[in-house]
C-alpha cells in the first residue's frame, strides 16, 4: 500500500485515441516529506507520517516548527499518517512524489465532503413526500412515524440509521476504486477518473485501494504535442 497527500484542483476531461471522453479530477500533489516513522516498539503500530504544503513559520506553532526541524524541513500545513508498507523503507526527510503511482493504478481517495448545512429528510435522504390531497394527513414534507417501526412491532425507540433531518456533508468520506488515468510528473499532478470528495483546493489523501478490483490498463490519451510538432 502506498499513499500521498494533495489538493483537489477541479475537474476536466481528456480524450483517448479512440475518441472516448473520460471525466477526470486533477489532484496536485507536490512532494510530500516524511516527518516521522511510527514503530510497534514505540507506538504500538507501524505508519509513516507525511507532511504536505509549506506554511509560513510565523503562522506555525512552536511545536510544529520543532517537529519539522528534526528532519531539516519547514512546518507543514497538512500532516497525515499512512499505514503503507512501501513507505516504511523511506528515511526521515525523504520526499514522496507522484511517481510512486503509475498509469492505470486503482486508488481510494479520502477527503472531507462539501458541507451543505442543515437539511430536511427530503433533500438529505431523497425521501418521498406525503399525500397532498385535501383532508389528508398534512404531513407533506415531514418525516413519518419514528419509534413505532411498523404497526405491529411497537419498540418504543428510534432505530439506528433511521433517515431524519440533520447535517448534510462536511464529514470524512472515501471514494473507492478510482483509476489513475495519467501521472503527470512534470506538474506533480494526478488525473483520476471520476469525482473525488471535497471542494476545489480541498486536501485529499490518495492511497492504494484496500478492496481493489482487477486493474485495467490505462487508456492511451491523445498527445496534442505530437500533432503540433508535425
pLDDT digits (tens, 9 = 90+) for 75-90: 999 999 999 777 888 8
pLDDT higher than threshold 70 for residue 145: yes
pLDDT tens digit sequence for 98-122: 999 999 999 999 999 999 999 999 9
Please state the rounded mean pLDDT for residues 61-78.
94
- At 49 the pLDDT is 95
Provide the CA 105 distance to its chain's centre, in angstroms.
16
Q: Is the pLDDT at 172 greater than 60, yes or no?
A: yes
What pTM did the predictor assign? 0.85
CA atoms within 13 A on the CB side of 11: 11
How close are the terminal C-alpha atoms of the chain, in Å?
A: 41
Joined together, the cell numbers standing for residue 94 give: 525523504
Least-confidence region, from 15-19, 211-215, 223-227: 223-227
Using the predicted structure, report yes or no on whether residue 136 has a pLDDT greater than 70.
Answer: no
- How confident is residue 152, by pLDDT bands cut at 50, 70 and 90? low
Per-residue confidence (pLDDT) for residue 150, from 0 to 100: 61
Give the span between the Cα atoms of 41 and 62, in whole angstroms. 27
> 22-50 b/e with 16+ CB inside 10 Å = b?
bebbbbbbbebbbbbbbeeeeeeeebbbb
25 DSSP β-pair partners: 11, 192
* pLDDT score of 135: 74
pLDDT of residue 168: 94
| pLDDT above 90 (res 212) | no
| Cβ-based neighbours of 208, under 8 Å, separated by 6 or more | 1, 2, 3, 84, 105, 106, 107, 108
Amino acid at each position: 500500500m502506498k499513499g500521498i497527500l494533495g489538493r483537489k484542483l477541479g475537474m476536466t476531461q481528456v480524450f483517448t485515441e479512440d475518441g472516448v471522453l473520460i471525466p477526470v479530477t486533477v489532484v496536485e500533489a507536490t512532494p510530500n516529506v516524511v516527518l516521522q516513522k511510527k514503530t510497534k516498539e514505540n507506538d504500538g503500530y507501524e505508519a509513516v507520517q507525511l507532511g504536505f504544503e509549506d506554511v509560513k513559520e510565523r503562522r506555525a506553532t512552536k511545536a510544529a516548527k520543532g517537529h519539522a526541524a528534526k528532519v531539516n524541513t519547514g512546518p507543514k500545513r497538512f500532516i497525515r499518517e499512512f499505514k503503507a508498507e512501501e513507505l516504511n523503507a523511506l528515511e526521515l526527510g525523504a520526499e514522496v512524489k507522484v511517481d510512486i503511482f503509475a498509469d492505470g493504478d486503482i486508488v481510494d481517495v479520502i477527503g472531507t465532503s462539501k458541507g451543505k448545512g442543515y437539511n430536511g429528510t427530503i433533500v438529505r435522504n431523497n425521501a418521498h413526500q406525503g399525500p397532498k390531497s385535501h383532508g389528508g394527513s398534512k404531513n407533506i414534507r415531514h418525516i413519518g412515524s419514528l419509534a413505532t417501526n411498523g404497526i405491529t412491532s411497537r419498540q418504543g425507540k428510534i432505530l439506528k440509521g433511521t433517515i431524519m433531518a440533520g447535517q448534510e456533508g462536511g464529514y470524512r468520506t472515501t471514494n473507492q476504486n478510482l483509476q489513475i488515468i495519467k501521472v503527470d510528473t512534470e506538474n506533480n499532478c494526478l488525473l483520476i477518473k471520476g469525482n473525488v470528495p471535497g471542494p476545489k483546493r480541498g486536501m485529499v489523501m490518495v492511497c492504494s485501494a484496500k478492496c481493489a478490483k482487477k486493474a485495467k490498463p490505462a487508456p492511451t490519451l491523445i498527445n496534442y504535442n505530437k500533432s503540433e510538432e508535425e
